[in-house]
Structures are given as structure tokens and as C-alpha cells.
Amino acid sequence: MSKFKKKKGGDLPAISTASLPDIVFMLLFFFMVATVMRDSTLMVVNVLPTADQIQKLDKKDRVMYIYAGKPSSRYTDKYGTGARIQLNDKFATVEEVGAFVLAERAAKRQELQNVLTTSLKVDGQTKMGLVSDIKQELRKVQALKINYTTRIGDYTQNLN
């Protein structure tokens, strides 16, 4: 008993798609592994400047993030176009940075509390005034290790 009838010769045989799932799975696993879920949605424009003398950031649990930049387009109606700071999921003023850092620090494990790094993800167009204010706040709460997070690239890309 034969399950398959022999095809009549002459026709081109159909291309086997049996390996398609394998290929798709391969891609799927790549993206699953490479994905990092964002824990906060960005509410600011965040085009980081580029630099090439960079060092890798510490492990994720030793880092807290401070975002700054112009509010993204859907928030401009409410918050205007002046650069702002974003902490977790909401806009914040400069004065709130210190409290944020202390809260973040208190939430970490004891042994990590002294090795925390603050990652500043600041949009390239931001004025230094705001960044200096943030830095000043960080100094007040003794969060002295900072990292200007940048994309990898030549500095000349910043200039256009």
C-alpha cells in the first residue's frame, strides 16, 4: 500500500518548505535572547550622542537611569518643548532627582548600595544647564559614579 502517488514526470517539483519552521525558530531565538524589555516607556526624545572612548556599563542591577530631553511629540501639548528630566515613568523637576536616587538606592541590596552607577541618558540637543543641574543634585546625595551613556561611533557624528 503506497500512501503517495507517484507524480507524473515533467512538472517541476515544489520547493520543500519543511525547513522553514527551523529558520524561523532560529530567528525567533535570536530575538528572544537579544531582547531587553524596557522597564519604563520613554517620554522624551532620546537621541544619544556618539563617542568612541567608551567603557561598558556595570550589570543592570547596579545601574539607575536618568533620562533627559525634549518631551516626545505626543507630550508636547501638555509639557511644552523645553528639555525635561524623566525618572521612571514620569517627568520630574531637578529637585526630585535627589529623592529619586535615594529611593533607588534604598531599594537595592545592601552590598550594592555603594557601587551604584547613575546612567545619564541625555538627548544630544539638550543644553548643558540642565545636565549640570542634575550633576549638582547627584553630588548632593553622594551619587558620584556617573556614566554618560552614548552610542558607539565617532565624535564627528555629533556635529551635524
- Interstrand relation of 63-69 and 84-87 (parallel, antiparallel or unpaired): antiparallel
Nearer to other proteins, 33 or 78 (CB): 33
- 115 is an interface residue for other proteins by CB under 8 A: no
Contacts with other proteins: how many residues (CB under 8 A)?
A: 57
> In the window 5-34, what residues touch other proteins (CB under 8 A)?
17, 20-21, 24-25, 27-28, 31-32, 34
Residue 138 makes CB contacts below 8 A (sequence gap 6+) with: 97, 98, 101, 118, 144, 146
Contact 61, 116 (CB under 8 A): no
Residue 57 dihedral angles phi and psi, to the nearest 5°: -75, 160
The Cβ-side half-sphere exposure at 128, using a 13 Å CA radius, reads 0
Each residue 60-99 as x (binds other proteins by CB under 8 A) or -, in order, gives x---------------------------------------
Site for other proteins, rule CB under 8 A: 17, 20-21, 24-25, 27-28, 31-32, 34-38, 48-57, 60, 117, 119, 121-129, 131-132, 135, 138-140, 142-152, 155-156, 158-159
